[in-house]
Chains A and B, each alone.
Chain A
Amino acid sequence: MLADCDVDAANLYLLLDPVVKSASPFYGLKKATINKEKCLGCNLCLHLCRYDAIRPGFVVDPVLCEGCALCYHACPCGAVEMVDHVAGHLFHSETRYGPLVHARLGIAEDNSGKLVAAVRKEARRLAEEEKKELIITDGPPGIGCPVISCLSGTDLVLVVTEPTFSGKHDLERVLDLAEHFGCRAAVCVNKWDLEPENTRAVESLCNRRRVPVVGHLPYDESAVEAVKRGRPVILECSRTMEKGILALWDQLKVLLN
């Protein structure tokens, strides 16, 4: 069972050649609109809104409105209505590797964390229905709300890093986050041979934190070439890359059992 939780920029389906079986709208929080006929222009909403979402003339900026509904509750003339708001779409697809749940967040939408939760919920439901034992979730970058939403309740978090100062810096923050939420983590170093010295630094960092390093993938043009052709790397890569991926999978199987 596959779940693409990078809902901002979902890429997994580009490689897996899926057939979309169903699509459903994803509703974010309702957003405010102001009924001009009822509005007396008292300015209370303008004054209360912490997101500066109400423009002069009592027009709500949908990008800034976070859907808190304070204006709706506070308006003395009942002029604010909270309206349903489609913030994205959820897809259930079939691939030759197994079912895939993915999503597309609408343009300039928030609520990505909520959509991640919806993708994961659907993936879990389908996995149970189709008796799949493993859910592989492709997570978003960062440490903010979509990532937090992606980590909760997982059996293992595989953190992919690279041997760069930035990679090491970001890795520490993601490992802190996993620890904060009590998630078990393991690390894979991608492009490890780009700067072997930095790879050693990443390894000793993981060692110190007692996080296993379960994979080393090489800096390999064949991986980029495969992606350019829209094919999964393992199907069209060099022998070294293939060995690296298979070794990673062997290590993961040990951790998951």
Chain B
Amino acid sequence: MLVAVASGKGGTGKTTLASSLALVAAEKGKVIFLDCDVEEPNGHIMLKPRWEKKEAVRVPVPEINQEKCTFCGRCAEICAFHALVVLPQEVLLFPTMCHGCGGCWHLCPAGAISPGWREIGLVEEGSSEGIGFVRGRLNVGEAISPPLIEAVKERCRPGELNILDAPPGTSCPVIRTVKGADFCLLVTEPTPFGLHDLELACEMVASLGVPCGVVVNRSDGDDRLIRQFCQQNNLPLLLQLPHDREVARGYARGIPAVKVRPEWKEYFAALLSFIEEGGCTGARTGGAQREGRHGQDYRLRESGRTGSR
């Protein structure tokens, strides 16, 4: 099963949620954490894996044989990404602009272009306290992350719980992460920014046909904004994590939320069983089951508050 953790807005607590979820899931079964935020991967800071192997990820890029080239300019003309410029006696390639589509080597009339390879980043694998760990790391200066995200997702293990920690936003890197997931958890915070970006994220997830549920992080007890939105859009509000300075401090030092507040574990466990026991369909049909979850959210909030006193 593939569960993606995403949010429109950065800094809402995706990694906090994903790492705690992985730790709780690992107590019961096999789980693998895949850090798809390849621009700024942070999961390793919380889960501290021991690295076992790494592999470079390469994308195709044209190699130009200047001797065969007639400088006709056809490659630059067809390149939709403006990665090639043909001068009277030289062809210039801007590798970071290249999307590797292969147009130039398939269509060069002189057969002067062949596919070569270029490294854009690394996929590293390891494990931490029984949790399988995979992360992608984009090389600084590289613009295009989706091929690296694909390489991370290729390490998903069928039959296990795969937790995908998505990058922030709603555009291609996030889409690449969430596409094909069985369920998507959208993390938000109870502010107008949080709500606005949640709306965008929901539309994005819906357009991919992935069922989703909402988690409010740093809740101060007044989540009307988010609650209303969820009700209007028939989305399950699955969990409200209270605003807790100790959890924030734990995060600052790389300590996952459930290690700072072990009493939160049961709520992550409930969230997991909701997803595993057909949360995917529940998210669409709504109804009684969801109401039950709402009741539980309140308990979590109360308990969290007592804990932080």
Query: Which listed residue (B106, B167, B253) contacts A142, Cβ 8 A?
Result: B167
B280 at the interface (CB under 8 A from A): no
Assess whether A122 is interfacial by the CB under 8 Å rule: no
User: B40 contacts A195, CB within 8 Å?
Assistant: no
- The answer to whether the Cβ of A242 comes within 8 Å of any Cβ in the partner chain is no
Q: Which of A48, A63, A195, A198 contacts B175 (CB 8 A)?
A: A63
The answer to whether B42 has its CB under 8 Å from any CB of chain A is: yes
Cβ distance A205 to chain B, nearest Cβ, rounded Å: 15
Rounded to whole angstroms, the CA-CA distance of A173 and B10 in the bound complex is 16
Closest CB of chain B to A71's CB: distance in Å?
9
Q: Is B254 an interface residue (CB 8 A)?
A: yes
In this assembly, does B153 line the interface, its C-beta being within 8 Å of a C-beta of chain A? no
Contact present for A166 and B208 (CB under 8 Å): no
> Is the beta-carbon distance between A63 and B208 smaller than 8 angstroms?
yes
Stretch in B96-104, B124-132, B289-297 with 4+ CB within 8 Å of A: B96-104
Residue of B nearest to A104 (CB): B200
- Whether B39 pairs with A180 at a CB distance below 8 angstroms is no
Interface size class of B (residues with CB under 8 A): 35 or more
The one of A63, A144, A170 in contact with B142, judged by C-beta atoms closer than 8 angstroms, is A144
Q: Determine how close the nearest CB of chain B comes to the CB of A8; give it in whole angstroms.
A: 4
Do B140 and A176 touch across chains, with their CB atoms under 8 A apart? yes
Q: Is B42 in contact with A70, judged by CB distance below 8 angstroms?
A: no
Type the 1/0 row for A132-161, where 1 means its CB is closer than 8 Å to any CB of B: 000000001111111110000000000000
State whether the Cβ of A101 lies closer than 8 Å to any Cβ in chain B: no
Contact B207 A73 (CB under 8 A): no
| Cβ-defined contact, A9 with B9, below 8 A | yes
A61 nearest in chain B by CB position? B179
* Residues of chain A in range 174-201 having any CB-CB distance to chain B below 8 Å: 176-177, 180-181, 194-195, 198
Contacts of B140 in A (CB 8 A): 143, 173, 176-177, 180
Judging by beta carbons under 8 Å apart, are A8 and B102 in contact? no
User: Does B285 sit at the interface, judged by CB under 8 A?
Assistant: no
Q: In the complex the two chains form, is B204's CB within 8 Å of A227's CB?
A: no
Are B171 and A73 touching (Cβ within 8 A)? Answer: no
Residues of chain B contacted by A110 (CB below 8 angstroms): 171-172, 175
Nearest B residue to A107 by beta-carbon distance?
B203
Q: Is the interface of B mostly helix, strand, loop or mixed?
A: loop
- With A63-B179, A173-B40, A177-B140 as given contacts, are A68 and B80 in contact (CB-CB < 8 Å)? yes
Q: Is the CB of A142 within 8 A of B40?
A: yes
Q: Which residues of B contact A162 (CB under 8 A)?
A: 252
A244 at the binding interface (Cβ < 8 Å): no
Contact digits for B240-284, partner A, Cβ 8 Å, 1 yes 0 no:
000001001101111000000000000000000000000000000
Report chain B residues within 8 Å CB of A243: none
Which residues of chain B come closer than 8 Å to A167, judged between CB atoms? 252
Distance between Cα atoms of A96 and B101 in the complex (Å): 46
Chain B residues near A50: list those with CB within 8 A: 60, 100-102
User: CA of A66 to CA of B83 in the docked complex: distance in angstroms?
Assistant: 14
Is A218 in the interface zone, CB < 8 Å from B? no
> Bound state CA distance, A194 and B247, in angstroms?
11
**In the assembly, what is the distance between CA of A140 and CA of B173, in Å?**
13
Shortest beta-carbon distance from A227 to chain B in Å: 5
Given contacts A113-B143, A145-B144, A195-B249, contact A8 B208 (CB under 8 A): no
Q: Flag whether A169 is at the interface (Cβ < 8 A).
A: yes
Instruction: Assess the A198–B252 pair: CB atoms within 8 A.
Output: yes
Comparing B24-32, B155-163, B191-199, B228-236, the segment that makes contact with chain A is B191-199
Does residue B8 face the partner (Cβ distance < 8 Å to A)? Answer: yes
Residues of B within 8 A of A170 (CB): 40, 42
- CB contacts (< 8 Å) of B102 on chain A: these are 48, 50, 70
Q: How distant is the Cα of A215 from the Cα of B10 in the complex, in angstroms?
A: 21
Does B72 touch A at the CB level, under 8 Å? no
Q: Are A112 and B252 in contact (CB-based, < 8 A)? A: no
Known: A11-B196, A73-B78, A144-B173. Contact between A228 and B191, CB under 8 A? yes
CB distance from A108 to the nearest CB of B (A): 5
Enumerate chain B residues within 8 angstroms of A166, measured Cβ to Cβ.
15, 40, 42, 45, 251, 254
- Write the B129-153 contact mask toward A (1 if CB under 8 angstroms, else 0): 0000000001011111100000000
- Confirm or deny: B56 has a beta carbon within 8 angstroms of a beta carbon on chain A: no
For B142, what are the chain A residues with a Cβ–Cβ distance below 8 Å? 144
Chain B residue numbers with a CB within 8 Å of A140 are 169
Closest 4 CB pairs of A and B: A68-B101, A8-B169, A142-B39, A145-B143
Since A9-B169, A9-B196, A173-B39 are in contact, a sample of 8 more A-B pairs with Cβ atoms closer than 8 Å, ordered by chain A residue number, is A8-B170, A9-B8, A68-B80, A73-B103, A165-B253, A166-B254, A194-B249, A230-B192
Using a CB–CB distance below 8 Å, which chain A residues touch chain B? Answer: 7-9, 11, 14, 29, 48, 50-51, 63, 66-70, 73-74, 105, 107-113, 140-148, 162-167, 169-170, 173, 176-177, 180-181, 194-195, 198, 219, 224, 227-228, 230
What are 11 sample pairs from A and B whose C-beta atoms fall under 8 A apart? A11-B196, A11-B197, A66-B80, A70-B101, A73-B107, A105-B171, A141-B11, A144-B142, A164-B252, A219-B245, A219-B248
